[in-house]
């Protein structure tokens, strides 16, 4: 197995996990076996990735900012990053709305199917939870998202993995290191440099477990699909989302070829382990350590760029989620509120989905919470919201897996574009987990 590339090992684990999940679905007690004895290994893997995400952001961002030596470079990098992220998100929403308005997946759904989905999912705990979270976010003040960036206690922010607060603190520390004498800053810079190297080595070691963890994660996903009839009836909607996400990947590859001169196939080969983990975990935050490792060591983006662009992207850049919100909102209206399908409402969807993507958490199914806010912004009847979410709830998890792949790919793409514009894209120098193993034997 040592000669097999990591992404092929992960794909093998994924395929075997799917097959195993289907087998367990047809065996008495199979679901319980997977839940009790297989799924925990996937959870352990995700927990390990989350464990190192915060220290990695803190170390890489502080080191990256301090290495810039010039505060004006921070402004330049930050402005380029935000503008490109906003641009790609707008493209994603437009692609989504174009597809759903062209193919109209919601116009052919029968009333019997709507009633069946409504009865099965309208009062589901998952739907209720999404509505509750969306209501709490909607009730917050208009500047609450800005307030939430500034931590009152950094240890709380670190402990609760509040990514934007951690990013702000790291930026603040990095800038202050530039403003004090170099001899005073040097010990702290060396500490964070060493911490960054240690955490990146942790990524290498954790990834040795990735194929087995992906097996567990995929098996657990498969046993959750207990109503194939409803899944088939929502196939047109799901295909619209997948088609839009595929077009978004193509858009990224065109950007990479046009602005960096790199081969799209080369890029996909280098970033594929992060994409496969994004698909398995449905969380760009959990995948962030792997994304950073692939972008820095295998694509060649300098640490000062990846350390800023990727953590910010994992928090505010949700191209896949924004595309999904556009398609889902119009699909729901096509099914139960066709009178709301006006040009003005679709412009509002573009604006709201863009803003919602910035506030969307990098965790599984956060897109559904933002979808409620998008629907409320166009005056969608409140009494129909549970039915609307119920319509798409059955296929949300597999589509969440797909859109997380786009989110992660978008982050990696933007990091390459920013690095190229700042002349910070170099030849990659990959490291292996056992590079220094002989020294400690």
DSSP string, 44-64: HHHHHHHHHHHHHHHHHHHHH
Predicted confidence (pLDDT) per residue in 40-96, tens digit: 999 999 999 999 999 999 998 898 888 877 788 888 899 999 999 999 999 999 999
Angle at 298 between CA 292 and CA 303, to 5 degrees: 45
List strand residue ranges (DSSP E) for 164-294, in order: none
Reported confidence tier of residue 429, pLDDT bands at 50, 70, 90: confident
Residue 366 confidence (pLDDT): 67
> Whole-prediction pTM value?
0.92
pLDDT tier at 127 (50, 70, 90 boundaries)? confident
4 sits in the region (left: phi over 0; alpha: psi -120 to 50; else beta) called beta
- 20 has a pLDDT exceeding 80: yes
pLDDT in tens, 382-402: 888 888 998 998 888 899 999
CA-CA distance, 393 to 160, in Å (whole number)? 27
Other Cβ atoms less than 10 A from the Cβ of 131: the count is 17
pLDDT in tens, 335-394: 999 999 999 999 999 998 888 776 555 445 567 778 888 898 899 998 888 889 989 988
Residue with tokens 């992906």: 214
Q: Which residue has the tokens 């076996």?
A: 33
């Amino acid at each position: 197995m040592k000669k097999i590339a990591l992404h092929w090992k992960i794909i093998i684990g994924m395929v075997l996990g799917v097959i195993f999940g289907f087998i367990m679905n047809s065996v008495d007690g199979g679901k319980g076996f997977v839940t009790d004895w297989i799924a925990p290994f996937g959870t352990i893997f995700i927990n390990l990735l989350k464990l190192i995400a915060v220290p990695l952001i803190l170390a890489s961002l502080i080191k990256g900012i301090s290495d810039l030596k010039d505060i004006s470079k921070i402004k330049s990098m930050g402005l380029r990053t935000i503008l490109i992220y906003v641009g790609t998100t707008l493209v994603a929403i437009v692609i989504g709305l174009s597809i759903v308005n062209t193919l109209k997946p919601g116009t052919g759904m029968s009333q019997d199917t709507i009633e069946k989905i409504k009865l099965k999912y309208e009062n589901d705990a998952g739907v209720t939870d999404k509505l509750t979270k969306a209501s709490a976010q909607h009730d917050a003040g208009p500047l609450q998202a800005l307030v939430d960036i500034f931590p009152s206690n950094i240890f709380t922010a670190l402990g609760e993995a509040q990514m934007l607060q951690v990013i702000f603190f790291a930026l603040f520390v990095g800038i202050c290191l530039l403003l004090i004498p170099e001899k005073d800053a040097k010990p702290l810079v060396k500490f964070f440099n060493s911490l960054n190297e240690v955490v990146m080595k942790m990524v290498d070691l954790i990834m040795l477990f990735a194929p087995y963890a992906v097996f567990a994660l995929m098996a657990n996903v498969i046993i959750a699909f207990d109503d194939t009839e409803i899944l088939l009836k929502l196939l047109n909607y799901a295909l619209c989302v997948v088609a839009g996400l595929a077009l978004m990947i193509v858009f990224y590859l065109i950007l990479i070829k046009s602005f960096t001169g790199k081969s799209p196939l080369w890029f996909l080969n280098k970033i594929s382990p992060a994409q496969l983990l994004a698909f398995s975990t449905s969380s760009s935050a959990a995948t962030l350590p792997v994304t950073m490792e692939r972008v820095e060591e295998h694509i060649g983006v300098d640490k000062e760029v990846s350390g800023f662009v990727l953590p910010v992207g994992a928090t505010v850049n949700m191209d896949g989620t924004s595309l999904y919100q556009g398609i889902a909102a119009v699909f729901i209206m096509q099914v139960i509120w066709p009178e709301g399908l006006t040009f003005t409402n679709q412009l509002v969807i573009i604006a709201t989905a863009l803003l919602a993507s910035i506030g969307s958490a990098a965790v599984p199914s956060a897109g559904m919470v933002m979808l409620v806010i998008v629907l409320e912004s166009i005056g969608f009847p409140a009494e129909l919201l549970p039915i609307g979410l119920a319509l798409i709830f059955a296929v949300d998890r597999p589509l969440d897996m797909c859109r997380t792949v786009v989110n992660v790919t978008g982050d990696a793409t933007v990091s390459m574009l920013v690095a190229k514009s700042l002349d910070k894209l170099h030849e990659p120098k990959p490291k292996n987990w056992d590079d220094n193993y002989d020294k400690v034997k």
